Amino acid sequence: MPPHKEKYVLRLLSVLILAAVCLFGQQFAFARPGQVTAITNVEVFDATGAAPWQGTVLIRDGRIIEAGPKVKAPRGAKVIKGEGRALLPGFYDVHTHWGPRATPSALPEVAANYLASGVTTVLDFHQPPEAFQPRREWLSQIPSPHVNMVARMSTPGGHGADWSDQTTTKWVFTDESAQRAVQELLPYEPDYIKVFTDGWRYGMSPEETSMNEETLSALATEAHRNNIRILTHTVTAQRGALAARAGVDIIAHSLQDRVITEEEVADIVASGLYYAPTLAIYEPRRPGAPELNMESAAVRQRVWKYGNAEENLRILFAAGVPVALGTDAGIGGLVHGDATLREIELFVAAGLPEADALIAATANSAAALGFAEDRGTIAAGKRAEIVLIDGKPWKTISDVRKTSLVLVDGAVVYDAANPPKPLPATLAARPAPALIDDFERADGRTAIDTLPVTDLDFGMERSVITFTRRPREEGDHVLSVSANMARKENPMAGVLFPLSRGSVIPADVTTYEGVSAELFGAGDYTLRIVSMQGMWEAKVSAGEGWNNINVPFTDFTFAGNREAAPEWTGDDLLQVGVLVNRAAGETAWFEIDDIGFYPAP
């Protein structure tokens, strides 16, 4: 295991034990280091393919040390009585998005939702690599599942590149650029890489670019050389076979444009990849939703595609392709945690036996992520990632929703009889320094050690921005920004400066009066502040030469729905930036120096 993961696990274990004692100490006596915890007289679904059995599971120092029908609790063990409950490995979700528009969106609440659903390992596809380290540190301080950070790659004009810049999603289109992009990600220690290989937009909007087999193969080879597994956004049958031939590890969506052919199935089987169909994101009618209007052509198309998704799952499962569990939770209204359980139910609805659906959610998903030797089944030596359920989900699959108790690394992190209290939604804000950047660092990072990012238009047609540091005079440098404006209405370009690494820790600017900067280049600009509550903007104009700009916070207005605008607090800022608005197809150029905050008089 890489060193950063070992440290993460150790920190997580110590914090979880402490949190569990604080949260549940009145109900349970928890094992000290070296002491045994015994879950006794419980019906065990061990996810090995064996029939459920009644017995005892012993845990010490975060690992299962013994499990079986004849196992007895040793003297001095801390006992959790399992009568009337089922014990399974913790569930997995290999495709989630912990984003600001998700339900829920706050990191501690997302973590709590997964634990309450019995989910002990997830992959987060949503973060820029700059956010990996601070989010890992935050997660280590709270009860949480194991959260693996996933870097992202796409093609220029591809899905995933249509809403982010290259600090979040690398754009590659040749074998050489793919190899170099993997190398660029290594300092961030990504746990996995997601590749947007397929530009088909489900027949609902124009197709975007797709990745060719040579590029994907080179990307997978370079990633594997560095012990990183690859998941792909692949949604069409032909490109599913291409992904298999290229050597990807997991297809993380349903193939649904048509029913796959025997040749395509053969390619997928031969590759040994895992298939995580994310049925939950495609389900045409979710529980509690109104009846579908089958008079609508769009609805009929959704139903047809979902039928293809189910049929392809059945075909691949019958062919021996191992099924893993992913959902796309955090996107399209899918609720974190609940979506994972819904995916298990949808496996069964599509035709998988209940036991196989549970194995997909546990042992198969662990193996897909490279954890087969570490977790995913109930066996001696495995990590104690455990969920206790009031029911028998291998008989009635909806019983997966009856979570009773959850253990991560052997520590109880959720108890349905004594739910934990909510944690603060954000980290405590830090006082913002007066200077954000004077552009004197030669490594491209700001004076506060953050990485500037380009604020791009969303969509296929978008402005192209470049920026570089250049000398202004001896001993002084500025940031020079150039843009080719997109050929569309109201194109936009600019640069944002995070106030903490990865924009994770909010900044408090309540001791300042406003934003200050020096701008060179005549024209109209927009100063943007990104806060935890949304975006705030102020319009400014610059004349010829250098212009000293001081804009009080009172001049900024909320950029969202004005009628629902939150109150400005000044203690939750994430980014500050400068945008330029020019006509479609024009070029733009400006320079920035000494951006920061100025004090109140």
Is residue 14 domain-resident?
no
Q: Which domain holds residue 215?
A: 110-120+128-351
Same domain, 154 and 283: yes
Specify the pLDDT at position 462.
84
Specify the pLDDT at position 552.
98
Residue 23 has pLDDT above 60, yes or no: no
Model confidence band, residue 244 (pLDDT cutoffs 50, 70, 90): very high
Is residue 334 domain-resident?
yes
Q: Which residues have C-beta within 8 Å of that of residue 564, sequence separation ≥ 6?
A: none
Of the candidates 26, 15, 21, the residue with the CA atom closest to the CA atom of residue 143 = 15
Specify the pLDDT at position 163.
77
* Residue 18: burial class (beta carbons within 10 Å; 0-12, 13-18, 19+): middle
DSSP 8-class letter at 40: E
Is residue 463 domain-resident?
yes
Is residue 3 domain-resident?
no
Boundary-marking domain end, from 351, 386, 412 = 351
As a whole number, mean pLDDT of residues 56-61 equals: 98
Same domain, 196 and 287: yes
381-409 in b/e form (b: 16+ CB < 10 A) is ebbbbbbbbebbbbeebebbbbbbbbbbb
Residue 272 has pLDDT above 90, yes or no: yes
Residue 518: CATH number of its domain: 2.60.120.430
pLDDT tens sequence across 159-169: 998 877 888 99
Model confidence band, residue 514 (pLDDT cutoffs 50, 70, 90): very high
Same domain, 341 and 489: no
Is residue 233 domain-resident?
yes
Number of structural domains in the chain: 2
Boundary-marking domain end, from 351, 377, 407 = 351
> 3-state SS of the chain: helix, strand, coil percent to 5?
25, 30, 45
CA distances in angstroms from 333 to 104, 105, 115, 282, 340, listed in the order given? 10, 11, 19, 11, 13
CB–CB of 485/579 below 8 Å?
no
- Tokens at 592, concatenated: 């920035």
The pTM of the full predicted model, rounded to 2 decimals, is: 0.93
Same domain, 270 and 139: yes
What gap in Å lies between CA 29 and CA 81, rounded to an integer?
Answer: 12
Model confidence band, residue 321 (pLDDT cutoffs 50, 70, 90): very high
As a whole number, mean pLDDT of residues 465-482 equals: 93
- Beta strands 493-498; 573-580: pairing state: antiparallel
Residue 28 has pLDDT above 50, yes or no: no
CB–CB of 126/132 below 8 Å?
no
Of the candidates 152, 89, 160, the residue with the CA atom closest to the CA atom of residue 120 = 89
Boundary-marking domain end, from 319, 351, 383 = 351
Q: How far does the chain reach from its first CA to its final CA, in angstroms?
A: 54
Residue 36 has pLDDT above 50, yes or no: yes
CB–CB of 514/146 below 8 Å?
no
Is residue 408 domain-resident?
no
Which amino acid, one-letter code, is at 60? R
* Residue 451: burial class (beta carbons within 10 Å; 0-12, 13-18, 19+): middle
Is residue 236 domain-resident?
yes
Same domain, 327 and 208: yes
Question: Is the peptide bond prior to 290 cis by the omega test (within 30 degrees of 0)?
Answer: no
Q: Which residues have C-beta within 8 Å of that of residue 50, sequence separation ≥ 6?
A: none
Which amino acid, one-letter code, is at 134? P
Same domain, 436 and 346: no
pLDDT tens sequence across 343-385: 999 999 999 999 999 999 999 999 999 999 999 999 999 999 9
Same domain, 208 and 345: yes
As a whole number, mean pLDDT of residues 421-438 equals: 97
Specify the pLDDT at position 31.
63
Q: What are phi and psi of 120, to 5 degrees?
A: -115, -10
Which amino acid, one-letter code, is at 235? V
- Beta strands 119-124; 91-96: pairing state: parallel
What gap in Å lies between CA 359 and CA 121, rounded to an integer?
Answer: 14
pLDDT tens sequence across 522-543: 999 999 999 999 999 999 999 9
CB–CB of 359/376 below 8 Å?
no
Residue 214: CATH number of its domain: 3.20.20.140
Model confidence band, residue 26 (pLDDT cutoffs 50, 70, 90): very low
- Beta strands 63-68; 53-60: pairing state: antiparallel
Same domain, 249 and 147: yes
Same domain, 329 and 460: no
DSSP 8-class letter at 417: T
Of the candidates 529, 591, 592, the residue with the CA atom closest to the CA atom of residue 555 = 529
Specify the pLDDT at position 25.
36
Mean pLDDT over all residues of the chain? 93
Is residue 142 domain-resident?
yes
Same domain, 347 and 434: no
Same domain, 326 and 466: no
Specify the pLDDT at position 8.
40
Beta-sheet strands, E only, within 500-601: 507-508, 512-520, 523-531, 534-542, 546-552, 557-558, 573-580, 587-599
Model confidence band, residue 10 (pLDDT cutoffs 50, 70, 90): very low
